[in-house]
Amino acid sequence: MSRLILVPTPIGNLGDITIRALEVLKSAGLVLAEDTRTTRILLDHYGISVPLRSHHKFNEHRSLEAVCDSIESGTVTALVSDAGTPGISDPGFLLVRRCIEREIPVETLPGPTAFVPALVCSGLPSDRFCFEGFLPQKKGRQKRLSALAGEERTMIFYESPFRVVKTLEQLAAAMGDDRKASVSREITKKFEETLRGTLASLAEHFSTTAPRGEFVIVVAGSSLKDHSEESE
């Protein structure tokens, strides 16, 4: 039966893909890719030859109906992002919603995503957490930071190497220099690294050590600080 299948792809190490994901990619009539060049590297690595079409944030609004029409005509379509699970800080939500509206079956495979290993490796509470993804770059950024200052759950953010120092400094200003946090970068890759400390110490580290790679910032909730103060 024709349907849309969301396929998570490796976030770094090409070995981090499931057998089922490879089977879906091999049998798909069409693969929608955030960047066809990046996806082609993955497909070539596993000897997979299927039609590729671009589907990214700049064209997804225009292409929704055509993609849905293609699926309804019988084309099993796989959606991938450059890395990780489609729809998590990557294109995917709009197409999924439109398929649901048109009663087109949607299937999602489990697989890689950066925030789970970063959270588990942080040493901060992982029983309750909130995923914030990328903070607004301009409008609404300070308002969002202020709103999160009192969040009791562990918080997870994505950030680029170009803004990681600024983000750590702004988090420290909103939540306190001594708020516990961790920073993970290059997850699953050769130079994978996780640093733990306070927001202030992590900001200072990356002010003197050039940030490289994609970053996941994990910040302790306000309740963790409150509990530690109560025990003193």
Tell me: the pLDDT tens digits for 124-174?
Answer: 999 999 999 999 988 899 999 999 999 999 999 999 999 999 999 999 999
Note the pLDDT tens digit of each residue in 33-65. 999 999 999 999 999 999 999 999 888 899 999
Residue 232 has pLDDT above 70, yes or no: no
Note the pLDDT tens digit of each residue in 16-25. 999 999 999 9
Residue with tokens 């200072």: 204
Measure the CA–CA gap between 84 and 90, rounded to whole angstroms: 9
CB under 8 Å to 108, separation ≥6 — which residues? 5, 6, 85
Average pLDDT over residues 172-198: 97
- Other beta carbons within 10 Å of 111: 18
141: which 2 tokens? 């950024």
What confidence tier does 224 reach under pLDDT thresholds 50, 70, 90? low
What confidence tier does 223 reach under pLDDT thresholds 50, 70, 90? confident
Instruction: Classify 78 as helix, strand or coil.
Output: strand
**Residue 184: which of 111, 113, 121, 112 has the closest Cα?**
121
Measure the CA–CA gap between 28 and 71, rounded to whole angstroms: 11
pTM: 0.90
- Mean of all residue pLDDT scores within the chain: 94
Q: Return the minimum-mean-pLDDT range out of 104-118, 192-206, 213-227.
A: 213-227
Average pLDDT over residues 102-115: 96
What confidence tier does 225 reach under pLDDT thresholds 50, 70, 90? low
Measure the CA–CA gap between 4 and 174, rounded to whole angstroms: 41
- What is the residue extent of each domain of the chain? 4-108, 115-230
CATH number of 4-108: 3.65.10.10, 3.40.1010.10, 1.10.1660.10, 1.10.287.1260? 3.40.1010.10
Q: Return the minimum-mean-pLDDT range out of 10-19, 55-64, 183-192, 202-211.
A: 55-64
Three-point CA angle 65, 71, 76, nearest 5°: 145
34: which 2 tokens? 């955030």
- Helix crossing, 141-148 with 164-175: angle to 10°? 50
Measure the CA–CA gap between 87 and 81, rounded to whole angstroms: 8
pLDDT at 231: 47
Q: Any alpha helices (H) in the chain, and if so which ranges?
A: 19-27, 36-45, 60-72, 93-101, 115-122, 141-148, 164-175, 199-208, 222-230
**What superfamily in CATH does domain 115-230 come from?**
Tetrapyrrole methylase, C-terminal domain (3.30.950.10)
